[in-house]
Amino acid sequence: MNDLPPSDERFEVTRESWPDDLPRRLSFPDGRRPIHELVRLRAREQPTAPAVTFYGRTLTWSDLEAAVDAFAKSMRAREYGTGDVCGLFLQNSPQFLIAYYGAQRAGMTITPINPQFKTPAVARQLDDSGASVVVVHTDSLDIARKASANANVDDIVVTAYGDFADDDDTNLASVVADESPVEAVVEDDIPFERVLEEDRSVELPDVALDDTALLQYTGGTTGLPKGCVHTHWNVLFKAATTAQVRGYGQPDVLLGTMPLFHVAGKQRYCDALPITGCQVVLLARYDPDAVLASIDEYDVTSTWLAVPSIQELVDHSDIGEYDLTSLSNRREFTNCSSFGTTLTQELSDAWRDLTGAYVQESGYGLTETHTTDTHTFGDSRVDPGFVGQPCYGVEIEIRDFETNEALPAGESGEIVVRSQATMEEYLNRPDATEEVVEGDGFLHTGDVGRLTEDGYLYFLGRRKDTLKVSGHTVSPREVETVLSDHETIDEILVVGAPHERRGSVLEAHVIPTGETATVDGLEEIIIAFAEANLAEYKVPKRVVRRDSFPRTDVGKVDRVAYRDTLPNGYE
């Protein structure tokens, strides 16, 4: 495993648009090995260096390695190993990292579970994944017990986040400050701390790169969630990619607010962490006060936020009390994801005034490819839909949805991706796998996009979200990205309203900016702007004011939930 070369010419980028400051070849400085082995390496090299900080308490790399090894040996002592699945039903926490690395070191496969799920969804994932063990927070224990009764779970490991936090930390999240202690709820369950204190005399297995590491479930926005089967190689490949295209290094202090159960948050703040040996400051969930305080206190050098969160921070009443300039100490940018609210130049400029770093879109990716298929390193453009250029070893084509033929630059069609990190399959769903993965390895994403002549990708939305208007196929995302440039619009969703002759007509449902929330003639203003910038059939016929939109757990505007609130016939 470890005698493989640290880099590979297959992962060398030759396109002219590649940034000068970014290496053209992806490298693996420690060789190619599962991520959990890199935790051990970092502990040997820098045992006293900080690895994970959680509400005032820090684990060194030596501390983290000891806990990971203890968790792994506890699982092996219970005869769990290759082929067994461990569910992580947790918020961001050191326990997530410990169980993630530890279970994989024992040979197990991890399946992260959204901590906001209720019993039916948890039961479905535990059953579908075949999980034998689930690690859960005290306040979610009842859900885990009920869900496990409908699956084949043998052991529930229960933990309290506060066991790895400082009770005196002034920014404790309510989920930590108000939680139930383990001793108050444990019955036949296994306390997490007992797992870390048990006999450690068992031997651990050799884990190969082609072993299954992860069952990462899709968001389920287009149907029931499906389990994407990823190997240790898939995880390592994208972790190395993330570390390199983000410019992570040992001096970095990362702030992790995006959820670890989500593939993108996990990749940044769990998978990429031991590749670089830097420090991560974890927050159980996003909180503006805790974000500002953490950046100031720990001299955070990199974070990743949703656009609405950045806007909230810029508008924070106490923003002047915090020093955020550490965010520009090692790089000129802060990554964001629009998640339904488009990044504007005004917001990027405001953030740069506060931090010294401009805001750039993070890139494009999906669960099936273990995300990070494109990057925006060194590119400060603010352009709706812009998500950068393909990463190392990633090929992207735009194809006709009907004929599957490749389309020329500038034309919109389906984004198809081929990558070293594409999933092996959808678990237990061979037909669904065959529908999206071709024999040559290209994966059909169902996303609408276009490529420029110099290889940059623009994401225009989901095909399943497209609407038929007078015989034309319209992407609501395309209309939204154009209209979001107008000064009166804070957030926007475009929906299809039923129409007798045309089938559907477009409606723009908007949250106006504060100063225009009550302006007269808002509909006429927005429609006039649309007429000047869009084809006639893409122009909304009506504008509807809204106060808010529902959101998913990662901050995206939830189109499905919003459409469910509309009258019958709306799309």
Query: Do residues 468 and 497 make contact, with C-beta atoms less than 8 angstroms apart?
Result: no
- Is residue 268 within 8 Å of 259, Cβ to Cβ? no
**pLDDT digit string (tens) for 124-151?**
899 999 999 999 999 999 999 999 998 8
Task: Name the token pair of 228.
Answer: 């994407």
Contact indicator for 392, 421 with CB cutoff of 8 Å: no
Residue with tokens 């065959």: 434
Helix (H) or strand (E) holding 88: strand 85-89
CA 391/CA 379 separation, integer angstroms: 14
Give per-residue pLDDT as tens, 356-393: 999 999 999 999 999 999 999 988 888 888 999 999 99
Between CA 559 and CA 496 the distance in angstroms is 12
**570 alpha-carbon distance from chain centroid:** 29
Instruction: Name the one residue in this structure whose structure tokens are 């040997």.
Output: 44
Instruction: Give the integer Cα–Cα distance in Å for 394 and 372.
Output: 9
Between 140 and 560, the higher pLDDT residue: 140
Are 246 and 377 a contacting pair, CB within 8 Å? yes
Per-residue CA distances from 70 to 106, 195, 339, 421 (Å): 10, 7, 38, 29
Mean pLDDT of 193-211: 92
Give the contacts of 19 (CB within 8 A, at least 6 positions apart).
377, 378, 379
In the chain, where the domains are located: 33-46+54-249, 470-563
Instruction: Say yes or no to pLDDT of 501 above 70.
Output: no
**DSSP H or E stretch at residue 244:** helix 232-245
Rounded average pLDDT over 322-350: 86
Sign of CA dihedral 333, 334, 340, 342: negative
At residue 117, the 3 state secondary structure works out as: coil
Residues in Cβ contact with 301 at an 8 Å cutoff, skipping those fewer than 6 apart: 251, 252, 253, 254, 326, 327, 329, 330, 331
Give me the phi and psi of 477, to 5 degrees please.
Answer: -60, -40
Spatial CB neighbours of 94, under 8 Å, sequence gap ≥ 6: 52, 54, 59, 64, 67, 164, 282
Task: Give the confidence band of 105 by pLDDT, cuts at 50, 70, 90.
Answer: very high
What pLDDT does residue 166 have?
A: 94
Which residues are CB-contacts of 126 (< 8 A; sequence separation ≥ 6)?
87, 113, 134, 147, 148, 150, 151, 152, 153
For domain 470-563, the CATH superfamily is ANL, C-terminal domain (3.30.300.30)
If you average pLDDT over every residue of the chain, what do you get? 91
**CATH 2.60.40.60: does it fit domain 33-46+54-249?**
no
pLDDT value at residue 217: 95
Q: What is the pLDDT of residue 2?
A: 37
What's the pTM value of the predicted model, to 2 decimals? Answer: 0.85
For the stretch 394-424, pLDDT in tens is 999 999 998 999 999 999 999 999 999 999 9
- Give strand pairing partners of 448: 414, 461
The proportion of the chain whose per-residue pLDDT surpasses 90, expressed as a percent, equals 69
pLDDT band at 223; cut points 50, 70, 90: low
Lowest mean pLDDT of 359-363, 475-479, 544-548, name the range: 475-479
* pLDDT value at 505 more than 60: yes
Q: pLDDT value at position 473?
A: 66
Q: CA gyration radius for the chain?
A: 24
At 264 the three-state DSSP class reads: helix
Are 328 and 353 contacting, i.e. CB atoms less than 8 angstroms apart?
no
Among 92, 68, 47, 137, CA closest to 280: 92
Question: What per-residue confidence (pLDDT) applies to 3?
Answer: 40
Residue 500 banded pLDDT, cuts 50, 70, 90 = low
pLDDT value at residue 189:
95
Domain 33-46+54-249 and domain 470-563 have a common topology: no
Write b or e for each residue in 137-150: b if 16 or more Cβ atoms lie within 10 A of its Cβ, otherwise e: bbbbbebbbebbee
pLDDT value at position 5? 47
Cα–Cα dist 176/162, whole Å: 6
Residues 529-541: what's their mean pLDDT?
A: 86
Q: Where are the alpha helices (DSSP H) in 444-506?
A: 476-483
Tell me if 101 sits within 8 A of 68, measured CB to CB: yes
Mean pLDDT, residues 42-67 taken together: 98
Q: How many residues belong to the chain?
A: 571
pLDDT of residue 552: 78
Per-residue model confidence as pLDDT tens digits over 420-475:
999 999 999 999 999 999 999 999 999 999 999 999 999 987 777 777 776 666 77
